Structure 1
């Protein structure tokens, strides 16, 4: 009597499929593990970094930490956004590479003898770590640290957080949301004379709507001076004898609030110099918006 081969063949196919399944599963896990592996370029305790300096080819930017406060070294009165140097310290102090080159050539072959970018980190013990970034290679850059002569390829995105413009790192003043719905009163003082627009005065409804439109259009986004000295206020028309003072009463979340704007001279390009409350930042706001605020 012949034995039936069908079930044996099916069992054999099943065993083969199981072997293939486990082999593929093991291979995938190994690949995932490889993808998760990173090459450390720097491994610093970022909370202990007290100095961040870099040059991206447009001039050196330098920041230092005193206690818990970061300062822009060139101007300690500059309103530095405190999260900024910490972000750079975190990114550069824990920098990872796509790979480390084996048997790397001389540094000049990668543009690292005269680096395109240089980032220097200093910790609280005075230890200095210098990251040099050279030529681009695809979506990466060649990089090295200190004098190790090890060459890495780091993602170009590693440098995304590093800024070179002051307006990108400044902590500008927060301007309130003001409109005809929450403006209570505006008092303008100019050349010793005072003009008042009161929302409770029905005869001034049109004027109140006009000045509210001006106040609501203000955007504090462009600065002419980030930390003006008293001696320089006259140059902006913002000294006490020249400026126009605009005192604003409004409500926010059902709470009474006040704000003071100081409007100075024109810059010759369609803007006027403006300051807010006791801030030392001089902003640029268009003539048109200022004229609406003043109901001119």
Structure 2
């Protein structure tokens, strides 16, 4: 009889533990918390056709047409496609680290005055506005649309938003040149052409300038004829440096033509341009003088 009573007590205790366990599990599953949700898919858009964001007070806008991204204000600018594809991919499908339940006011997360505002539209015509606020550890607070829900997302989301327009432009490159691979240079100024060749061994001075030549700040991404005249780079004013050289990688003979224009207002640089390019850069005046021998 005593054993039967003991067994009944043990069964009651076991049943109580089961009820307690079930209650705790239910509580954990359903309790409201400000930082307690699982990984959540915020948006899952189709391929993006436009994206814009603010950078240091400036709004940069880009559009995609026929699988190519363009700068909205001037479609002639040579935008680096890989950079825009990466940015578009980031905001096409946004996944949260967690959703904040019973969140505080937007200002508590820096979302009343967001650090970044990103507007996108996909090929179906759907538009979404993302607002990115304060950092929180390795994440950022984010909301979108009507701002009714607040999430945290990986800080990776902001990595491309610090890019200025300059960062997103594909600029010209200049080959590696020296007396070892220069073969011939023709410098034309005021209608007169002077020829320098490796056979004549009169390239040393010019090679010194070309060996350290680099494009400085881009002054114009797509210069018009009136712009070129202003820079002294129109056909009647510019100095032409026609360079024949052996490519150090392919070992093939190549040709490149550099145009040199006026000095800038500070007289510390010359305006320069590559033949076939619409971009105008500045280059150090001493380097240019060495090229002109």
- When normalised by structure 1's length, the TM-score is 0.80
Q: Which residue among 224, 227, 230 is the counterpart of 1:232?
A: 227
1:35-50 matches, cutoff 5 A: 38-45=39-46, 48-50=47-49
Using a 3 Å threshold, how does the CA distance of structure 1 residues 154 and 269 change in structure 2: closer, same or farther? farther
Residue aligning to 2:214:
219
Asked whether the equivalents of residues 217 and 289 of structure 1 are also in contact (C-alpha less than 8 Å), the reply is yes
Q: Which of 257-266 and 114-123 deviates more?
A: 114-123
Match of 1:264 in 2: 261
Aligned position for 2:153: 154
Match of 1:81 in 2: 80
Q: Which runs of 5+ in 1 are unaligned?
A: 1-36
- What root-mean-square deviation, in Å, do the aligned CA atoms of Structure 1 and Structure 2 show? 1.8
Q: Aligned ranges for residues 19-98 of structure 1 at < 5 Å?
A: 38-45=39-46, 48-98=47-97
Aligned to 2:134: 135
CA separation of 1:210 and 1:170: change in aligned 2, threshold 3 A? same
Taking the aligned partners of 1:278 and 1:41, their CA distance within structure 2 comes to: 45
How far apart are 1:216 and its partner, in Å? 2.0
Task: Give me the whole-angstrom Cα distance separating, in 1, the residues matched to 2:237 and 2:174.
Answer: 23
- Within 5 A, what are the aligned runs for 1:69-218? 69-147=68-146, 149-201=148-200, 205=201, 207-218=202-213
Given that 1:142 and 1:152 are in contact with CA atoms closer than 8 Å, whether structure 2 keeps it comes out as yes
Secondary structure at the counterpart of residue 233 of structure 1: helix
1:242 corresponds, among 237, 254, 258, to: 237
C-alpha distance in 2 between matches for 1:286 and 1:102: 58
**Aligned residue in 2 for 1:12:** none
Q: Secondary structure at the match of 1:41?
A: strand
**TM-score, structure 2 length as denominator?**
0.81
Deviation at 1:289, TM superposition (A): 1.1
Give, in whole Å, the separation in 2 of the partners of 1:174 and 1:42. Answer: 39
Note if contact 2:55-2:164 (Cα within 8 Å) is conserved in structure 1: no
1:74–1:232 Cα change, 3 Å = same
For residue 117 of structure 1, report the CA deviation from its aligned partner: 1.2
Q: Is the 8 A contact 1:245 1:262 kept in 2?
A: yes
Q: Could you give the per-residue CA deviations for residues 179-235 of structure 1, whole angstroms, max 9, x where no partner exists?
A: 11110001000011111111011xxx2x41221221121223521111111111111
Misfit runs of 4+, over 6 Å = none
Tell me how far apart the structure 2 counterparts of residues 96 and 234 of structure 1 sit (CA, whole Å): 51
Alpha-carbon distance in 2 for matches of 1:66, 1:111 = 34
Tell me: CA distance 1:216–1:41, structure 2 relative to 1, closer, same or farther (3 Å): farther
Aligned length: 253
> Would you say the 8 A contact 2:39–2:97 is kept in 1?
yes
Alpha-carbon distance between aligned partners in 1 of 2:136 and 2:261, rounded to the nearest angstrom: 50
Secondary structure of 2:43's partner? coil
